[in-house]
Amino acid sequence: MEERENRIPETEAPETNELEIKAPGAAEPESPVVPAGGPEDEEKKRREQTRGFLYIAAGGYLMYIAYKMMRDVREGVSAAGSNRALFIAFAVVFAVAGLGIILMGARKLKK
């Protein structure tokens, strides 16, 4: 008999499709569950696209810096002359990092 008293009558049960487990005194969620394809998904997709474009721009900037460093080494600019090996090493690092970031941004745009 005690078991029956602890049950929630079906008329008082929440009308959701998800199983919700709440701690006593827990606050209600701020927003209701939005079905897939709603405005939140569109906003998330737009943010991912923006992030992809920013990655491509940042990668392009690193590639540009690598190009300028190699050009300075080739032209014998005074700052590059004394640290030639260091300039070449960093130019390669920037070029590889820039290419990787560009590819990562392009992959985000495909999604």
Nearby residues of 73 by Cβ (< 8 Å), 6 or more positions away: 80, 84, 87, 88, 91
> Has this prediction a pTM greater than 0.85?
no
**Confidence class of residue 13 from pLDDT cuts 50, 70 and 90?**
low
> In this structure, what DSSP letter does residue 21 have?
-
Interacting residues of 91 by C-beta distance below 8 A, sequence separation 6+: 65, 66, 67, 69, 70, 73
> What is the per-residue pLDDT for 6?
59
Residues with Cβ within 8 Å of 57's Cβ and at least 6 positions away in sequence, in order, are 105
Domain ranges (residues) in the chain = 45-111
Q: Which of 60, 44, 49, 68 is nearest to 99 (CA)?
A: 60
Q: Looking at residues 92-111, what average pLDDT do you find?
A: 93
**Rounded Cα gap, residues 84 and 73, in angstroms:** 6
Q: What is the pLDDT of residues 49-85, one digit of tens each?
A: 999 999 999 999 999 999 999 998 888 876 766 788 8
